Homo-oligomer: A and B are copies of this chain.
């Protein structure tokens, strides 16, 4: 089996190289055009994007591509919509960090969709790229799970204010859809942490240490995917010119609040996981202490007694105590006394 190419290395700048695993069988392109009055939706094939025409009647055009392995298609989009080669390069690079680049004629945004696979305590990360021109939006998703379904339905149904707004609001709505999913992730991580906490205190078994560890690793990944979004949204908010309208600004600021809250929560969960590791180590130390106390109590009581029994099991010819009438019983009584004394001593020291 061929190993996936994780990163584009050695190609010349601007080369469109698909990195990562191919996650879809066949690339699908969905086209939607709408304004306040009309809406029109259709699936395209690879050829039809060449028939791009300037939108009329304030129509907003949205091309949604699922699957990124066909670099020729991406380059065709670049040619038709006049996208900068470096933006095209980043569309195909699935390891891309979230960022916003301003090119003449368009805004390019990458963002990562995250899903928590609770069974494997693993976060699945998907690369999503958005390109906004004056009256069109291109969106590229890595696999077939459609992050943007809610937005598409709102447009088709004419719900909310989306049909009345410009392309910038559509980009906002798409980003909002991705970021909204983070809350699901956050809730599931919180549940996983609470479950771990309960397990440590009740039954700290062999798997906990690797579970804490892998959850920590995943939170590192999540933070790396989310933290740069703050800058992206701040840059989006500060964009000047005709591309972004004033009415959308309040919504972008709201988005920024959401991201800050999520980054905050991710940081909190990292601290919680560190604290959980501390708790686990305390628990191990505490149990070790208990085990050692049991061992010490048993040994301290019986080793000296065994020694005494050993003494009177010796075979010397001349051991006067052996021949006394009550020495056996005296010894037994003495041993009982020793046991009782030691137990009360250990009890006082709270060793059991």
Measured CB to CB, the residues of A under 8 A from B are 6-10, 12-15, 84, 86, 97, 99, 101, 103, 150, 154, 159-162, 172-173, 176, 180-181, 183-184, 186-187, 197, 201, 203, 206, 209-210, 212-213, 216-217, 220-221, 224, 250-251, 253-254, 257, 260-261, 264-265, 268, 271-272, 275-289, 291-296, 298-300, 302-307, 309-319, 321-323, 325-328, 331-332, 350-351
Contacts and interface: CB of A to CB of B under 8 A. Distances in A.
A310 B303 CA distance: 11
23 contacts: A10-B180, A12-B150, A13-B160, A210-B279, A213-B276, A216-B275, A220-B271, A220-B272, A277-B278, A281-B282, A287-B289, A288-B288, A291-B292, A295-B295, A303-B303, A306-B306, A313-B314, A313-B315, A314-B315, A315-B315, A315-B322, A317-B322, A318-B328
Contacts of A251: 13, 86
A296 B296 CA distance: 9
Contacts of A201: 210
A317 B253 CA distance: 94
A291 to B, nearest CB: 5
A203 B313 CA distance: 43
B209 A286 contact: yes
A84 B293 contact: no
Contacts of A293: 291
